[in-house]
Amino acid sequence: MGIILASASPRRRELLALITEDFTIIPAKGEEKADDTLEPQLLVKKLAEQKAVEVSSEHRKDFVIGADTMVFCCGKALGKPRSEAHAREMLTLLSGKKHTVITGVAIAQNGDVVNSFFEETKVEFFTLSENEIDSYIASGEPKDKAGAYGIQGKGALLIKGIEGDYYNVMGLPIGRLYHTLRRMQII
């Protein structure tokens, strides 16, 4: 029995390594089926569960960790930007406002979810000028990040403050995951 991270995210890999170096990465490949009628917390949890179960179905003895992070602002779910124009639209929406970052985490074994939870963090952006937005987009950093920013990089310059788990904004609430894995006697 080992631990598998069902994600190709370098940030999640880096964070899970804080708990254990003994894990394998096998990203989920299936199409995410988002049910937009769900509350945001349940939506990200369900997406994380889909990823964990998909990989767990082929690696039944292992414990598989799936995660999904989304940004919610003004009633809109902000995933990863599809283009620079989409990133600009998201960053303009976030400018000068508070928003919520929610990460769902699921642990699966034998093709079934054995534990899942979500974590929320409130983030407030400074009011951004068009030049600041353009410069940030030009850095290339927004490409693969929910809400078009990364708190751990140049995106830190956009953030006025946070309330909650910093690592949740990076994509994995590592403290809560650590205590969950310990309680389940996986580590």
Contact 81, 92 (CB under 8 A): no
- 134 burial level (CB within 10 Å; 0-12, 13-18, 19+): middle
- State the CB neighbour count (10 A cutoff) for residue 83: 9
Residue 68 designated active-site: yes
Please tell me the distance from the alpha carbon of residue 44 to that of residue 183, in angstroms, as a whole number: 23
Please tell me the distance from the alpha carbon of residue 113 to that of residue 117, in angstroms, as a whole number: 11
Of the candidates 62, 68, 112, 144, the residue annotated as catalytic is 68
Tokens of 138: 């030009």
Contact 102, 172 (CB under 8 A): no
Instruction: Tell me the catalytic residues.
Output: 68
